[in-house]
Structure 1
Amino acid sequence: MSHSPEERYDPLSEDNPQTVHRARDVARGFLSVLAPSGGDEADAVLLVVTELIRNAVRHAGGVTGFGLRAGPGTVTVTVHDASRQPPWLQLTDPREPGGFGWLLVQELAADVQVSVGPTGKAVSAVLPLSY
């Protein structure tokens, strides 16, 4: 099962201040079917959606695609963006906010893949989800 926001929503873009909120709404709807009782695993999926979308908007020229796919006991979150630069771990002052999104995605996901293409990249994170 895969869901693209273009099916019912305007495309997600950098200049839309609701991008992260809209992606989370799409993910909540997706998860409400797969894991209606929610739980920690569903919360982890929402957190990864938030971080990948936010990183694409802040650091990678905006979101060019977003998808969710259910697999056996997993959910894959994929975010496409306009940058060919792979994500990197930013070393920040621990007293300053931010800078932990990429590390958080890697900690929560069972697998993370980055595919770079001619017009940007896709970041996919596979998370466990019991359903």
Structure 2
Amino acid sequence: MITKIQLRELLLDLESDRVERTVSTNNTQKFAIAICAFANDFSKVTVFEVKVPISSHYLAFTDLVIQLLKLLAQGELSSSEMRARLGIKHRANFRDNYIHPAISLGLIVQTIPEKPNSRLQKYKLTARAIKYLEKIK
């Protein structure tokens, strides 16, 4: 039986051969192929049920998160600097749709983690994000 820790590691692992990731949900044919491939690979494995609370933070990287990563590839930026460059005015939406998912996936970190509400707070890419950006070039 898979543990919660093992499941979280699978969700965060960009290089796992056990997880299929995609940027777009528009191509349903691609999903069908991936599901079939997954089923064929594990046809001899005992099937078990895993109940995981659905969270948008653990879905495949959204286009929004990828935009954020590409922006931060240029260097450290504050939240307001990122919003300005992306043309986003609403702070809460930006935080919920860009910052929190990227932090939860281990793609960005705060430059002053001990003071999360500091006016000097900036964000930077992690090694995982840099590796991912190199992979999608």
Answer yes or no: same fold by TM over 0.5. Answer: no
Pick the structure with greater CA Rg. 2
Report the TM-score, using the length of structure 1 for normalisation.
0.30
Name the structure with the higher strand share. Answer: 1
Report the TM-score, using the length of structure 2 for normalisation.
0.30
